[in-house]
Amino acid sequence: MSKVSPKSSDWSIGSGLPLAVIAGCNVLESLEESLTIGRELKSICADLGLPYVFKASFDKANRSSIRSFRGPGLEKGLEMLTAIKAELNVPICTDVHEVEQALPVASVAEIIQVPAFLCRQTDLVTTMAEAAKTTGSVLHVKKAQFLAPWDSKNVISKIRETYDADAIIMCERGVSFGYNNLIVDPLAIPEMQKLDVPVTIDATHAVQLPGADPRTGGASTGGRRDGVAIVAKSAVAAGADGVFLEFHTAPDAALCDAPSCLPISEARPLLTKLKAFRDIVNG
């Protein structure tokens, strides 16, 4: 399996390497909140010897309700991510929803993320690949909830035909299982790795209950926070090369996907266990 690393960073992910960490906030709520979470995660990963990327979204375009909080938007969001990058001296990961966002985002973020529901949108995916090629960024592709793991080959092919480099990371984040539910099949991880790409686990979104938040009568997504660690450990034991996790200083008050994000106080014990699992897998 190929090693993937942005050209402007020594962060890397791949077979036999330390567990890669893409973690931060679900959405940019404030610069202070983001920096608090980023500083703690950077410190933990440095102590554990894990390569770290800060993640946060500037716009949550896929919302259950038009009234849901979406974030600061592209211009303000990229300003905040640039400030976080400068303050913490870490690579950045954020997602793109529209073709016009691709190059501005790739100019700031070392990892540009393809949202799960959009991973089959050819124009978006190829434009993101072109932007990443221009800046030396890499793509983190969330596998859609409706795709079999082996069908990721079509998404990967679109990117490779546009960007002829080892610049793709696939992400498992669960598959739709009936109404308002997702499940994670650990066998999906080695299946996607057969396509010669590193694979991460998005343990945060894998525990979502789409459209099933009792607090809003279905106007937002529910979740099972207690399941995040279970999914993450299972996936790393199955060979996942990296983890994608979202934290908050007060999860129940988070403005987006509150039922799924973890308190930042749980980051160190969880990442410590995940490192131990990865060390065992690496032999």
Please spell the DSSP secondary structure of 67-107, one letter per residue. TS---S-HHHHHHHHHHHHHHHT--EEEE--SGGGHHHHHT
Beta bridge partners of 95: 113
Catalytic residue among 95, 213, 241, 257: 257
For the cut 50, the answer to whether the pLDDT of residue 178 exceeds it is: yes
Catalytic residue among 55, 60, 143, 233: 60
* Of 226, 230, 232, residue with least CA distance to 263: 226
Average pLDDT of the chain, as a whole number: 92
- Is 26 annotated as catalytic? yes
> pTM of the prediction?
0.94
Task: Check the CA dihedral 244-24-209-142 and report its sign.
Answer: negative
Domain boundaries, the chain: 20-282
**Residues above pLDDT 70, as percent of the chain:** 92
Reduced to 3 states, what is the DSSP secondary structure of residue 234? helix
The yes/no answer on whether domain 20-282 falls in CATH 3.40.190.10 is no
Question: Are the beta carbons of 170 and 197 closer than 8 angstroms?
Answer: yes
Rounded CA separation 188/172 (Å): 7
Task: Check the CA dihedral 254-105-82-202 and report its sign.
Answer: positive
Q: How does 192-212 read in b/e, with b if 16+ C-beta sit within 10 Å?
A: bbebebbbbbbbbbbbbbbeb
- Is 257 annotated as catalytic? yes
Rounded CA separation 40/34 (Å): 10
Digit-coded pLDDT (tens) for 53-86? 999 999 877 756 666 767 789 999 999 999 999 9
Banded model confidence at residue 258, pLDDT cuts 50, 70, 90: confident
Beta bridge partners of 111: 93, 138
DSSP state of 100: G
Structure-token match 């390569």, residue found: 51
Q: What's residue 65's pLDDT?
A: 64
Digit-coded pLDDT (tens) for 183-221? 899 999 999 999 999 999 999 988 877 664 556 555 446
10 Å CB burial of residue 250 (0-12, 13-18, 19+) is exposed
**Residues above pLDDT 90, as percent of the chain:** 79
Q: What's residue 222's pLDDT?
A: 64
Reduced to 3 states, what is the DSSP secondary structure of residue 124? helix
Q: What's residue 182's pLDDT?
A: 84
